[in-house]
Structure 1
Amino acid sequence: MADRRPQFVWMLVARAGTLVTGVLASVVVARALTPEERGTYYMAVSVATTAMAVGHLSVEQAQTSMWTEKRRRSSLDRNSVPLGLLIGTAAAVVATGLCLVFQEHGHFPDIRLLVLACTGVPMGMAVLYGTNITLLRDRAGVAGWSMLGSAVVQCLCLVAFGVTGHLTVRTVVIAWVVSFAVSLIVLIAARGVTVGRPDLRLAGTTCAKGLRLHAGSAASYLLMRSDVFLLNALAGSRDVGIYTLAVTLAELSRLAVDVFAQVTLSRQFNDDVDDSALVAARMVRFTVLLGVASALTTVAGVSALITPLYGRPYADTATVVAWLVPGVLLLSAARPLSTFLLRQRSSHLVVLPSLTALVVNVALNAALIPVCGAVGCALASTVAYSAVVAFQMTYFRRISGLGLRCLLPTSAEATRFTTEVKRRYRELHISRVP
């Protein structure tokens, strides 16, 4: 088996660079915009990302499910970008139409700002499909460059707007749209994904397969973003500004876990079903250890730095992050289980957990937001994410025949992990001593 450590290190560096530039960008935005203005910007972006999430037809999940059929891989590759642009354009048109209909309801931003944000949907959809193919082709390095290049360009745009005094809600949205164009260009230029004549028959088959999974996929996204719409409607744009910043910072805890899952994605399709279950279990044990370390570091870091970096108006963000991180940790650590279940090609394994958790999330948000605001939103999200993981663990046990204890790190594994972290820390410390 190929040594994946170089890929893991590079992807970790790329993700770290992406998150660092993302945090820098969020600092620039927070210093230029009030929480209310940040909430307005994020609502416009949320409309566009929701259009992508609801409209992508779960094509990327269909790609993953069909990747085991080697004869179809080249056609799935060629189809990804054209299919993304076509479906993305349709999703953007529908989203714009719905915004026109409901403009006076739900405290939506100005329609021109919403239309501007929706111009990024086709490119974002192509990036979604193309990145998935790139990872399935075991070209994690290209995916890393695409992600890092997008983040760097977005950050540079924001800094340039800030320096010249043109940083407004509108220009922040423009920088967000441009970042998708950069990401797509890198994917194509670095040949992570192939642009060629599409196979229309396979495109139809892929969409049909995706549609069977789409209720779960759309519910998974709405599980993670419907709270923003509810918070905007029940509490206002200031709470949205605080909460969405907390989400950005809480996702720092996913850095190492997501990189590990991306680098090892193709590994879960190289074995038969029984071996795949053992691989998934080993991955979960490792991601739990990575996630706990990352979560503790994130909560401590945010608590110490939120006011110095973002200013006193954003001080409440630290409390929201502390409530969000446990749910984010659980959801990201269980990602190998989600991939294992997707391999089974049974749609209810993917759909039912997400739909159930979405109902729980909406109900809890409706009850808690009027009382606790953004903190209630974070608590509801953590409970709902935990419900998804509980379903995934139950299905995994039934299908694999493995006990749930195999998903928990042993004391020996925890000791080895801790020892390795300490060793790396000492090496880094010694290297910095003059």
Structure 2
Amino acid sequence: MADSRLQFVRMIAARAGALVMGVVASVIIARALPPEGRGTYYMAVTVGTAAMALGHLSVEQAQTAMWSDKASRASLEGNSVPLGLIVGAGAALAAMVAAAVFQGYANMPDLWLLATACAGVPLGVGVLYASNIAVLRDRPHVAALAPLAGAVVQCSCLAAVGLTGHLTVYTVVVVWSVSLAVSLAVLIGAGGVTVGRPRMGLARTTCGKGLRLHAGSAASYLLLRSDVFLLNALAGPRAVGIYTLAVTLAELSRLAVDVVAQITLPRQFGRDVDESAAVAARTVRLMVLLGAVSALTMVVAVSVLITPVYGAAYAEAAAFVAWLVPGILLLSAGRPVATFLLRFRSPWFVVLPSLTALAVNIGLNTVLIPAWGGVGCAIASTAAYTALVAVQVTSFVRMTGIPWRQLLPTASDTAQITGRLRRRPKELGMGRAQ
């Protein structure tokens, strides 16, 4: 238990540091670029991240599903980085072909800017595979340290260039790609993953298994980011610049929730169905409780600080955050349920809910963006996230027999967390005294 608390503290510190760096970077960008410029930068990066998400073949999910076979673990680990770079290179090439075809439509950035963003795609896919291996190896602190290092480099570079007054959209995209290279180097150098000689047979098996899950993964990504493409097409770069700042700030509220999900992931393996279901239920209760506190804190903080920190041009983002936070936190809190279904049910129990929620998201965004702009986009996203979690929880309840009420925190859960937080400073004080 002490080790788990120490891991939690270390990961919270690393994630908090990365998020602080991200916030500082977003302030530098917002102060240097108008909403239109920020929207153009974000669309270029979104094309890159879309290439990662749609082209990574869900290998990380296959790694998770295959990790129970202890004999394959070393080979899965050794394959992760080389396979990520190869798969990522293919995804980047496909993204550039698509960008060339659609250039001139839907307010897309120029090809040179998109090519710069796509240069980071192989690195990003390598980070994805390697980070997942680090978590499966029960080294989540290394998985948290890697984005922190990338964020520090990104923030430092932006600040250095910004002080000279030469921060441009292109510079911001270059720095983003460099930060991915730093994250991958830290994952390898800090022992999160070992790079080995690729085993092609296992690589084909892993990719094949991942592809069977990939429709759901791709749908999950599009569920999170299709709103940005639709908003860009229907409302233009300025709306994207403000809305994506709101998304960045709203996702800060996931800090504690995501750390809990990473720490508890290994506990769902090596157990039978009943034990794994019980672990998932307990984890969800904790994540819902932490998420509620995080949501309230974030909405209040953004409403007070958005104009003084980012400027009056971004004031609308506060309303967007208030609509986005509930859905984002519900989606995060449902991750243990999704992991359980991935282990014990057909992949379609993960794929179909994601496809359904994506359809809801696209339909609502198409209707609400022309009427309400960014607010409509935020409402549509939260409604779609809620629909996805509701379907996943329904499947979980039917399969396990656990009442849905056991997924909601109780007074005893609150008391238990409060007691641990009170004990932690005392333990740290005793450790220093010794």
Q: Considering the TM-score relative to the shorter chain, is it more than 0.5?
A: yes
- Measure how far apart 1:33 and its partner are: 0.2
**Mapped partners of 1:215, 1:331: distance in 2:** 18
CA distance in 2, matches of 1:71, 1:346: 23
Q: Deviations over 1:309-336 (max 9, x none)?
A: 0000000000000000010110111111
Counterpart of 2:191 in structure 1 is 191
Instruction: Give the structure 2 partner of residue 31 of structure 1.
Output: 31
Asked if residue 344 in structure 1 is aligned to residue 321 in structure 2, the reply is no
* Matches of 2:416 and 2:261, distance apart in 1: 20
Quote the residue 1:334 is aligned against.
Answer: 334
Contact 1:289 1:417 in 2 (8 A): no
Aligned to 1:67: 67
- In structure 2, the residue matched to 1:263 is 263
Equivalent positions of 1:38-57 (< 5 A) are 38-57=38-57
State the alpha-carbon separation in 2 of the partners of residues 349 and 31 from structure 1: 44
Match of 1:16 in 2: 16
Distance in 2 of aligned mates of 1:427 and 1:10: 15
- Aligned ranges 1:347-386 → 2 under 5 Å: 347-386=347-386
- Cα distance in 2 for partners of 1:268, 1:360 equals 31
What is the distance in 1 between the residues matched to 2:35 and 2:426?
Answer: 40
369-378 or 191-200: bigger deviation = 191-200
- Residue 5 of structure 2 corresponds to which residue in structure 1? 5
Amino acid at match of 1:141: H
Shift of 1:264: 1.4
Per-residue CA distance 1:236-290 (angstroms, 9 max, x = gap): 1111001100000001110000011111111111322210000000000001110
Quote how far apart the aligned CAs of 1:164 are.
1.7
What pairs with 1:155-170 in structure 2 (closer than 5 Å)?
A: 155-170=155-170
TM-score by length of 1: 0.96
Q: Where does residue 140 of structure 1 map in the other structure?
A: 140
CA distance in 2, matches of 1:115, 1:13: 34
Equivalent residues of 1:149, 1:186 under 8 A apart: yes
Stretches of structure 1 that go unaligned for 5 or more consecutive residues are 429-434
User: Following the alignment from structure 2 to structure 1, what is the Cα–Cα distance between the partners of residues 81 and 292?
Assistant: 36
**What percentage of aligned pairs have identical amino acids?**
66
The amino acid of 1:154's aligned partner reads Q
C-alpha deviations, 1:127-149, integer Å up to 9, x for none?
00000000000011211211110
Counterpart residue number, 2:104: 104
> Which residue in 2 is equivalent to 1:115?
115
State the partner residue of 1:394.
Answer: 394
Counterpart Cα distance in 1 of 2:423 and 2:205: 50
What letter is aligned with 1:268?
Q
Which amino acid in structure 2 is aligned with residue 78 of structure 1? G
What does residue 202 of structure 2 align with?
A: 202
- Deviation of the 1:411 alpha carbon: 2.3
Tell me by how many angstroms 1:418 deviates: 5.2
CA distance in 2, matches of 1:109, 1:242: 17
The residue aligned with 2:226 is 226
The 1:235–1:424 alpha-carbon spacing in structure 2 relative to 1, beyond 3 Å, is farther
Aligned CA RMSD, in angstroms, stands at 1.7
Aligned with 1:4: secondary structure? helix
TM-superposed CA distance for 1:3, in Å, is 3.0
CA contact under 8 A between 1:65 and 1:345: conserved in structure 2? no
Give distance in 2, aligned partners of 1:345 and 1:85. 30
Counterpart Cα distance in 2 of 1:342 and 1:3: 27
2: distance between equivalents of 1:413 and 1:195? Answer: 41
Matched to 1:410, the amino acid is: T
Residue in structure 1 matched with residue 78 of structure 2 by the alignment: 78
How many residues in Structure 1 have an aligned counterpart in Structure 2? Answer: 428
AA aligned to 2:215 is: A
Tell me by how many angstroms 1:416 deviates.
Answer: 4.0
Judge which range, 272-281 or 414-423, deviates more.
Answer: 414-423
Asked if the contact 1:161/1:167 (under 8 Å) is kept, the reply is yes
1:417 deviates by 3.7
Q: Which residue of 1 is the match for residue 236 of structure 2?
A: 236
Deviation for aligned residue 1:341:
1.1
Instruction: Compute the TM-score of the two structures, normalised by the length of structure 2.
Output: 0.96
> What are the superposed Cα offsets for residues 147-200 of structure 1, whole Å, 9 maximum, x if unpaired?
110111010010011012221000000110001000000011112111111111
User: Equivalents in 2 of 1:50, 1:238: separation in Å?
Assistant: 20
Distance change in 2, residues 1:423/1:304 (3 Å):
farther
Report the counterpart of residue 153 of structure 1 in structure 2: 153
The residue type paired with residue 279 of structure 2 is: V
In structure 2, the partner of 1:175 is 175
Separation (CA, whole Å) in 1 of partners of 2:165 and 2:423: 46
Structure 2 CA distance for aligned equivalents of residues 389 and 256 of structure 1: 19
Q: Is the contact between residue 52 and residue 121 of structure 1 (CA under 8 Å) also seen in structure 2? A: yes
Consecutive unaligned residues in structure 2, runs of 5 or more: 429-434
Q: Distance in 2 between matches of 1:415 and 1:142?
A: 30
Partner letter of residue 211 of structure 2?
L
**TM-superposed deviation, 1:412:** 2.3
Q: Is contact 1:228-1:240 (8 Å) kept?
A: yes
CA–CA separation in structure 2 for the residues paired with 1:423 and 1:318: 36
Secondary structure of 2:247's counterpart equals helix
Quick one: distance in 2 between partners of 1:418 and 1:141? 23
How far residue 414 of structure 1 moved from its aligned partner, in angstroms, is 2.8
Aligned to 1:128: 128
Structure-2 separation of matches of 1:144 and 1:329 = 19
Deviation at residue 339 of structure 1 after TM alignment: 1.1
Q: Which amino acid aligns with 1:48?
A: G
Q: Which amino acid aligns with 1:25?
A: A
Instruction: Report the counterpart of residue 296 of structure 2 in structure 1.
Output: 296
Give, as a single letter, the amino acid of the residue that structure 2 aligns with 1:38: R
> Shift of residue 398 of structure 1?
1.7
For residue 307 of structure 2, what is the aligned residue in structure 1?
307
1:61-100 deviation line (CA, Å, top 9, x unaligned): 0000111111111110011001100000000001001111
| 8 A Cα contact 1:337 1:393, kept in partner | yes
Rounded to whole Å, the distance in 2 between the matches of 1:231 and 1:304 is: 26
Q: Which amino acid aligns with 1:212?
A: R
When residues 423 and 293 of structure 1 are mapped into structure 2, their CA distance, relative to the original with a 3 A threshold, is farther
Q: Aligned partner of 1:137: which letter?
A: R
